[in-house]
C-alpha cells in the first residue's frame, strides 16, 4: 500500500443535482503505483473517462464530485484551490485524449503549441532552448523530420502523427502521471501498437506512471501491469493483469473476456466440438430462435463446401474501378481525381460469408457500395445473379434492390430518428409490394423483429429509445424484412461494445443458417473477420491484394500487407499463465 503515486478513494461523481442526480462514478477506489501502467477497462457508460477527468479537474460542466478523495504524492487534489489545480495539471499530470484529430489547436503550428507548453513549465527557458526542447521531444516520440512537423499545422499531419505530438505535449514536463484516455481508439490497427509502445517507453523514460483508460482488452493485455474492470460506475475487480485476464473473479469480467473475439478462436472452438459463438452461449437472443441455431448447425469451423460448388456465384466482380473527383469549380480546391477502387475482380459464392478487410481509406466501403448498387462503377462489371448491376437502368436496379440489403456501421445514424421503428421496416415492404396493406406491413415488421430477438412492442419505439445493440438489431431486421439474398454488412459491430458485438455476431451466424443468406462483411478488426467469414479479401488503396480462406490467415505466403494487419492485432493472453511480455515490465509484483 505504501508509496502509491495516485490514490483514489471512494470517488463518486454525479450528473445534475438533487433527487434527479445520476451517479455515474460510484465509490471508486484504486491506487496507481510509481512506474506502473494501470489500466481501467470497461464498456461505454462505465464511468472510466469521467474518473480520469475528475483526477485532472476537467469534468464537464454539469458533473459534480460528490464524495471521495484523490491524492497525488499524498497531496489532495480535489480540495486544492484553483491555482494549485492549475499547477497540478501538466507539471505533475499529463493527459492524452482519445481524438488526436481535434486535440491540437487547428490555428497554430505544432512548434508554437509545444513551445507554449514548454514556456509554461520552464518560464526561464530562452526561445532557442524552447525550440530545442520541442525538437528533442518530437524525436523522443519517434518523429524523424522534427523540423517539418514543428512548422506544420495539425491538419497537415496524419492521425498517428498527431497522437505522437499529443504524447510529446503531455509528457514534456516529465509528469509523474500520464493519463491516456482511449489513446488508440481513433487510430488504425497498425498505428495502435506503435502508439501503445510509445506511451510505455515515454513513461518509462520520464519515470512516471501510466493510467490507461480503454474499452479494449487487447490494449489491456498488451500494455497494462494492473487492471481495474469498471461497470456502471463501479470497479468490479482489480488485480494484476494476468490474474484478471486468466482467472477473472467477477462474473461480469468473465463474460466480457469471453465476448472478445480472438484470432483462431473459431478453430479452437471447433477442435473442442463447441459451437461457434462468442460470449455466454445464447446471447440475449430470444430462447426460441436461439435453440434452433445452437449446438448443432453453427459448429463447423469451415464453410459448407458441399452445396456451394453446385450453384454459380451470387456476385461476380470483373475489373471494377471507381474514381472520385475531389474539389473543382466553386469548392476553392484544386480539382483532382482519386481512385477509390481499382480493377477489382472477385466472386462471392451463395451461402458464404465473404470478408473484406483493410485499413481506413482502403476502399472497402466504396467497394461494398458498388456491389450494393449505391454507387455506379466507372468500369468493369458487377454481376448479381446473372445481371450486371453496374449497367442496369435505374428503374430496374431499384426493382432488384430488395435482393441485396445493407446493414450500416453506425446503427444510430442509419435509422431515421423521427420515424418509429415499425414504420421504418414496413415502408420498404409496401414500396416493393411485399406487403399489401399497412396492417400486413406491420405484421411482417413484427416477424422481422422476432427474427432478431426483439418483441413486437418495439414497433412503436423511436430509435433514441433503444440501446446501441438494439438499434443494430433493428437495422438487421429492416434489411431482412425484404428477404434479401445478399446482406452487405459494413462494419456493423465496430461502434458497439464488445459484449454487444458478440451478441450481434452470434445473431448473424444464426440468421445465415436459418435464412440461407450470403454475407459480404466489411471489417477492420481481423479477429472479428476471421471469426465470422469463410473467405477474406484484403484491400489496400482500392486494390484487392489477395483472397484466401479464413483458416489460411496465418499461413505462409500471405501478402506483406495482410501480415502487417495480422501483426497489428494485439495478442491476447487470456489463456497464458506466464507473466512475461515484450516490454521491460515496470510494475512490481503484488505484495
Partner 1 sequence: MVLTATPVTRSPNPLKGTAPRRRRSRLRVNAQVTLALLVIAGFVLVGLLAPVLAPYDPDLADGGVKYLGVGAPGHLLGTDELGRDILSRLIWGGRTSLVVALAASLSSTVAGSVLALVAGFSGDRAAGLIMRTVDVMFAFPVIIIALVLAVILGPGTPVVVLSIVFSAVPYVARVVFAEVKLQRGREYVEAARSLGAGFFSILFREVLPNVLAQIVVYGTGLVGGMIVFSSSLSALGIGVQPPTADWGRMISEGAKVIISGNVYPALLPGLVVLVVALAFNWLGDGLRDVFDPRRRRAGR
Partner 2 sequence: MGTVKHILWRSLNIVPVLLVVSALTFLVGRLTPGDPIEAQFARDHTPEQVEAIRASYGLTLPLWQQYVKWVKDLFTAGGGMSIVQNQPVFDILLPNFANTLILTAAGVVICAVLGVVIGVVAGTNHRGFLDRFAMLFVQTGSNLSVYWFGLILIWIFSLRLGWLPASGMESRNGGGFGDLLAHLVLPGLSAALISTLVLARFTRLGIIQESQSDYVRTFASQGVPRRRLVAKHIGRNILPAVVNIIGLEIGTLITGVIFVESVFNWPGIGTQLVNAVNGKDYPLIQGGVILVALCYLLVNLLTDITVDALNPRLRR
Residues of this chain that interact with partner 1 (CB under 8 A) are 1-2, 4, 7, 9-10, 16-17, 54, 57-69, 71, 74, 76, 78-79, 82, 85, 329-330, 372-374, 398, 401-402, 405-406, 408-410, 413-419, 427-428, 431-432, 475, 478, 482
Is 332 a residue that touches partner 2 (CB under 8 A)?
yes
Contact stretch for partner 2 (CB under 8 A) within 101-109, 216-224, 313-321, 492-500: 101-109
Applying CB under 8 A, among 19, 106, 417, 557 the residue interacting with partner 2 is: 106
**SS3 call for 231:** strand
Contact 565, 580 (CB under 8 A): no
The 10 Å CB-count burial string (b at 16+, else e) for 272-298 is: eeebbbbbbeebbbeeebbeebbeebe
Cell of residue 185, nine digits: 481508439
> Quick one: what does residue 84 bind among partner 1, partner 2, none, with the CB cut-off 5 to 8 Å set by partner type?
none
Q: Which is nearer to partner 2, 179 or 520 (CB)?
A: 179
Site for partner 2 in 472-491 (CB under 8 A): none
Is 71 a residue that touches partner 2 (CB under 8 A)?
no
Is 56 a residue that touches partner 2 (CB under 8 A)?
yes
Q: Which is nearer to partner 2, 87 or 311 (CB)?
A: 87
Cell of residue 115, nine digits: 513551445
- In angstroms, what CA-CA distances link 220 with 177, 573, 575? 18, 10, 14
Closest C-alpha among 96, 113, 119, 247 to residue 175 = 96
Is 35 a residue that touches partner 2 (CB under 8 A)?
no
Q: Which is nearer to partner 1, 1 or 584 (CB)?
A: 1
The DSSP secondary structure of 520-583, one letter per residue, reads: EEEES-HHHHHHH-SEEEEEETTEEEEEEEGGGTTSTT--HHHHHHHHHSPPP-SS------SS
Distance CA 538, CA 544 (A): 6
According to DSSP, residue 173 is labeled T
Report, in Å, the least distance between residue 469 CB and partner 1.
17
Applying CB under 8 A, among 35, 47, 68, 94 the residue interacting with partner 2 is: 94
Contact stretch for partner 2 (CB under 8 A) within 87-95, 374-382, 443-451, 473-481: 87-95
Report, in Å, the least distance between residue 138 CB and partner 1.
26
Report, in Å, the least distance between residue 414 CB and partner 1.
4
Contact 159, 75 (CB under 8 A): no
- In angstroms, what CA-CA distances link 523 with 216, 471, 528, 567? 16, 19, 7, 16
Is 574 a residue that touches partner 2 (CB under 8 A)?
no
Report, in Å, the least distance between residue 390 CB and partner 1.
16
Cα-only R_g, the chain:
26
Is 97 a residue that touches partner 2 (CB under 8 A)?
yes
Contact 405, 484 (CB under 8 A): yes
> Quick one: what does residue 16 bind among partner 1, partner 2, none, with the CB cut-off 5 to 8 Å set by partner type?
partner 1
Q: In what order do the strands lie in the sheet with 177-181?
A: 93-96, 177-181, 209-214, 37-42, 226-231, 234-240
Q: Which is nearer to partner 1, 342 or 373 (CB)?
A: 373
Is 249 a residue that touches partner 2 (CB under 8 A)?
no
Distance CA 275, CA 246 (A): 22
**If 0-12 CB within 10 Å is exposed, 13-18 middle and 19+ buried, where does residue 582 land?**
exposed
Distance CA 8, CA 4 (A): 10
> Quick one: what does residue 432 bind among partner 1, partner 2, none, with the CB cut-off 5 to 8 Å set by partner type?
partner 1
Q: Which is nearer to partner 2, 330 or 433 (CB)?
A: 330
Q: Which is nearer to partner 1, 405 or 518 (CB)?
A: 405
Applying CB under 8 A, among 166, 220, 477, 529 the residue interacting with partner 2 is: 166
Report, in Å, the least distance between residue 92 CB and partner 2.
9
Is 127 a residue that touches partner 2 (CB under 8 A)?
no
> Quick one: what does residue 332 bind among partner 2, partner 1, none, with the CB cut-off 5 to 8 Å set by partner type?
partner 2
Q: Which own/partner pairs from 249-254 qualify as long-range (CB within 8 Å, at least 24 positions apart)?
A: 253/229
According to DSSP, residue 81 is labeled -
Report, in Å, the least distance between residue 366 CB and partner 1.
13
Report, in Å, the least distance between residue 374 CB and partner 2.
30
Q: Which residues bind partner 2 (CB under 8 A)?
A: 56, 58, 86-91, 93-95, 97, 99, 102-108, 113, 116-117, 120, 153, 155, 166, 169-170, 173, 332
Amino acid at each position: 500500500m505504501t508509496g502509491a503515486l495516485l490514490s483514489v478513494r471512494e470517488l463518486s461523481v454525479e450528473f445534475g443535482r438533487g433527487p434527479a442526480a445520476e451517479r455515474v462514478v460510484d465509490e471508486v477506489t484504486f491506487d496507481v503505483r510509481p512506474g506502473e501502467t494501470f489500466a481501467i477497462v470497461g464498456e461505454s457508460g462505465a464511468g472510466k473517462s469521467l474518473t480520469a477527468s475528475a483526477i485532472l479537474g476537467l469534468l464537464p460542466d454539469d458533473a459534480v464530485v460528490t464524495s471521495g478523495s484523490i491524492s497525488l504524492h499524498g497531496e489532495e487534489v480535489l480540495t486544492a484551490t484553483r491555482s494549485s489545480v492549475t499547477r497540478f495539471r501538466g507539471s505533475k499530470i499529463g493527459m492524452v485524449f482519445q481524438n488526436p484529430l481535434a486535440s491540437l489547436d487547428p490555428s497554430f503550428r505544432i512548434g508554437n503549441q509545444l513551445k507554449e507548453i514548454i514556456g509554461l513549465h520552464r518560464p526561464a527557458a530562452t526561445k532557442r532552448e524552447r525550440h530545442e526542447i520541442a525538437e528533442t521531444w518530437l524525436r523522443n516520440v519517434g518523429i524523424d523530420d522534427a523540423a517539418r512537423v514543428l512548422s506544420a499545422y495539425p491538419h497537415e499531419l496524419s492521425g498517428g502523427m498527431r497522437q505522437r505530438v499529443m504524447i510529446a505535449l503531455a509528457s514534456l514536463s516529465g509528469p509523474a502521471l500520464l493519463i491516456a484516455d482511449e489513446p488508440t481508439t481513433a487510430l488504425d490497427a497498425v498505428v495502435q501498437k506503435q502508439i501503445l509502445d510509445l506511451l510505455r517507453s515515454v513513461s518509462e523514460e520520464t519515470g512516471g506512471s501510466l493510467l490507461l483508460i480503454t474499452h479494449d482488452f487487447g490494449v489491456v493485455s498488451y500494455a497494462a501491469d494492473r487492471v481495474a474492470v469498471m461497470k456502471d460506475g463501479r470497479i468490479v475487480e482489480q488485480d494484476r493483469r494476468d490474474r484478471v485476464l486468466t482467472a477473472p473473479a467477477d462474473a461480469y469480467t468473465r463474460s466480457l473476456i469471453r465476448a472478445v473475439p480472438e484470432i483462431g478462436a473459431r478453430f479452437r472452438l471447433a477442435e473442442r466440438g463447441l459451437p461457434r459463438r462468442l460470449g455466454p452461449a445464447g446471447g440475449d437472443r430470444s430462447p426460441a430462435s436461439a435453440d434452433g441455431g445452437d449446438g448443432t448447425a453453427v459448429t463447423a469451423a469451415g464453410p459448407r463446401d458441399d452445396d456451394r460448388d453446385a450453384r454459380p456465384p451470387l456476385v461476380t466482380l470483373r475489373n471494377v474501378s471507381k474514381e472520385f473527383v475531389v474539389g473543382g469549380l466553386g469548392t476553392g480546391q484544386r480539382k483532382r481525381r482519386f481512385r477509390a477502387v481499382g480493377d477489382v475482380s472477385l466472386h462471392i459464392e451463395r451461402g458464404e460469408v465473404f470478408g473484406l478487410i483493410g485499413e481506413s481509406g482502403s476502399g472497402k466501403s466504396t467497394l461494398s457500395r458498388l456491389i450494393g448498387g449505391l454507387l455506379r462503377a466507372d468500369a468493369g462489371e458487377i454481376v448479381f445473379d446473372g445481371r450486371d448491376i453496374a449497367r442496369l437502368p435505374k428503374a430496374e436496379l431499384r426493382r432488384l434492390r430488395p435482393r441485396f440489403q445493407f446493414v450500416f456501421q453506425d446503427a444510430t445514424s442509419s435509422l431515421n430518428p423521427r420515424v418509429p421503428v415499425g414504420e421504418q421496416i414496413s415502408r420498404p415492404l409496401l414500396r416493393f409490394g411485399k406487403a399489401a396493406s399497412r396492417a400486413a406491413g406491420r405484421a411482417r415488421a413484427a416477424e422481422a423483429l422476432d427474427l432478431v430477438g426483439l418483441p413486437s412492442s418495439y414497433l412503436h419505439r423511436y430509435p433514441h429509445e433503444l440501446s446501441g445493440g438494439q438499434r443494430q438489431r433493428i437495422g438487421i431486421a429492416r434489411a431482412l424484412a425484404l428477404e434479401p439474398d445478399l446482406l452487405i454488412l459494413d462494419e456493423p459491430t465496430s461502434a458497439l461494445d464488445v459484449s454487444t458485438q458478440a451478441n450481434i455476431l452470434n445473431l448473424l451466424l444464426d440468421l445465415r443458417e436459418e435464412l440461407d443468406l450470403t454475407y459480404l462483411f466489411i471489417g477492420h478488426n481481423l479477429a472479428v473477420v476471421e471469426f465470422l467469414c469463410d473467405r477474406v479479401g484484403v484491400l489496400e488503396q482500392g486494390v484487392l491484394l489477395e483472397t484466401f480462406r479464413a483458416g489460411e490467415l496465418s499461413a505462409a505466403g500471405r501478402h506483406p500487407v495482410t501480415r502487417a494487419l495480422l501483426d497489428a492485432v494485439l495478442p491476447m493472453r487470456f489463456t497464458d499463465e506466464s507473466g512475461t511480455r515484450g516490454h521491460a515490465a515496470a510494475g512490481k509484483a503484488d505484495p
